[in-house]
Structure 1
Amino acid sequence: MMRDEAPIHAGKSGLRQILRVATTADHRVLDALGTKFDLASRSGYAAFLSAHASLIPALENLLDKGPVPPRWPQRRRAGALAEDLAALGRTLPEPADVPDLASPAQRIGALYVLEGSRLGGAILLRHVTTAQPDAPVAFLDHRSGERCWATFVEWLDGLDCGSDEQRAAIEGARLTFAAFAAQFRAWLATIA
């Protein structure tokens, strides 16, 4: 039996830890692609935002089906992406196909990816504002003064998920990482 087929038990660590461990390789791939965007240049930053904007609005709409963490409407970042792109003289890109996240557990996995991206966004925010002090940063700075990640983790680890649901959450996270990786590759090709 492959490791991915074995039952997953959260134990004391909770669903966050299960998702973190199971998607480490997916996260590394996406991070490696993300470092290829030149965030110090206007075109590189616009492509980075466009890669996100090609998925996030449709993904957030799909995630509205639930379950969603507390203050979900305030967590949504599609509007911030549109605002930043408009400030850069760009429009929202055509939406890409979002993963088929049919089950609530798969959508939880996708939420893990979206909410986790806030952590990287805080680091990228410093890089962008240092290189481009006048750059629009509504997306990267979205609700940065709040405890978005901490409250998300509290919600996530409070969910009662059995082994099948945990596997589905992992699948949803991996599908979401893969969708973002595909968009990163596509948008990187536009500035190569």
Structure 2
Amino acid sequence: MHAEILPAVEGWLLLSRDFATVPDSRERLRTDALRRDLSDLKLPIPATRDMSFLNDESSVAGICYVLEGSRLGAAYLCSLLGKSDASLPTAFLRHGTGHSHWKTFLGWLTEQDCSGSAIERAVISARQVFDSYLKALLEQDNNRMRVFGTS
């Protein structure tokens, strides 16, 4: 699911001038780590979805909010894997460990436009990312049900 969404979202961010104002913007990108893990698992890299967003810094704020929250969730999942006997690639889950990405993102976020319209645009873009993840998940579930003949 991440492999369908994340490359497109990060690709869009790289084309945005506003993303360059986020501290350590390029160091935050996790697509390469995700692809490394898929390769180590000998899984194909799925086609990337087309993504577009409102082209302003409020969109960058909303999108990065989702991605940085995902990074926090990934750290939690990595801690759970560490408690198991599983030996799985975790480059994606560990990405950013030892950095203060959440803290520096929040610092950057507090300096952004906080008008009602800016917050609305950020929320719209964040929801677009969440909706894309949900759509990818539902499609994967539907494909599994077809393969296994369940409904």
TM-score with structure 1 setting the length: 0.68
Q: Does the residue aligned with 2:76 lie in a helix, a strand or coil?
A: helix
Deviation at 1:140, TM superposition (A): 0.6
Aligned pairs (5 A) from 1:59-74: 59-64=9-14, 65-68=16-19, 69-74=22-27
Name the amino acid aligned to 1:159: Q
Say if 1:67 and 1:108, in contact at 8 Å, map to a contact too: no
Deviation at 1:190, TM superposition (A): 4.2
Task: Please list every run of at least 4 consecutive aligned residues from structure 1 whose deviation after the TM superposition is greater than 4 angstroms.
Answer: none
Q: What are the superposed Cα offsets for residues 96-128 of structure 1, whole Å, 9 maximum, x if unpaired?
A: 122433333123211110111111111111223
Name the amino acid aligned to 2:3: A
* In structure 2, C-alpha distance between the alignment counterparts of 1:136 and 1:190, rounded to whole Å: 25
Deviation at 1:180, TM superposition (A): 1.1
Mean CA deviation greater in 58-67 or 130-139: 130-139
Deviation at 1:177, TM superposition (A): 1.0
CA 1:121 to 1:172, structure 2 compared with 1: closer, same or farther past 3 Å? same
Correspondence 1:56 to 2:9: no
Q: Does the residue aligned with 1:139 lie in a helix, a strand or coil?
A: helix
Amino-acid identity (%): 32
CA 1:62 to 1:132, structure 2 compared with 1: closer, same or farther past 3 Å? farther
* In structure 2, C-alpha distance between the alignment counterparts of 1:188 and 1:149, rounded to whole Å: 31
Residue number among 31, 38, 47 corresponding to 1:78 in the alignment: 31
Deviation at 1:188, TM superposition (A): 3.3
Residue 87 of structure 2 corresponds to 134
Residue 108 of structure 1 corresponds to 61
Say if 1:67 and 1:107, in contact at 8 Å, map to a contact too: yes
* Runs (5+) with no aligned partner, structure 2: 146-151
Residue 122 of structure 1 corresponds to 75
Figure out how many residues of one structure are paired with residues of the other and give that number.
142
Residue 19 of structure 1 corresponds to none
Say if 1:56 and 1:78, in contact at 8 Å, map to a contact too: yes
Q: What are the superposed Cα offsets for residues 44-92 of structure 1, whole Å, 9 maximum, x if unpaired?
A: xxxxxxx001011111010121322111111100000000000000121
Pairwise CA RMSD: 1.7
* In structure 1, C-alpha distance between the alignment counterparts of 2:141 and 2:131, rounded to whole Å: 15
Identify the structure with the greater helix proportion: 2
